[in-house]
Amino acid sequence: MIRLKPTYIAEHVTDINLEDLKKENIKGLIFDLDNTLMPPKSGEFPQDIEHWLELVKNDFKIAILSNNPHKDYVKKAGEIAGCIAYEKAEKPRRKAALQALKDLDLLPEQVVMIGDRPLTDILVGQRLGLITILVDPLIKHEEIQFVKFLRKLERIFISSPKNKFNEINKKTDSDINR
For the stretch 33-70, pLDDT in tens is 999 999 988 899 999 999 999 999 999 999 999 999 99
> Does residue 147 surpass a pLDDT of 80?
no
- Rounded distance between C-alpha atoms, residue 176 and residue 178, angstroms: 6
Q: What is the pLDDT of residue 97?
A: 97
- pTM (predicted TM-score): 0.81
On whether the 8-164 domain is CATH 3.40.30.10, my answer is no
Reported as a pLDDT band with limits 50, 70 and 90, residue 176 is very low
Distance of CA 166 to the CA centre of its chain: 16
H helices, E strands: number in the chain: 7, 6
> Does residue 154 surpass a pLDDT of 90?
no
Q: What is the pLDDT of residue 13?
A: 96
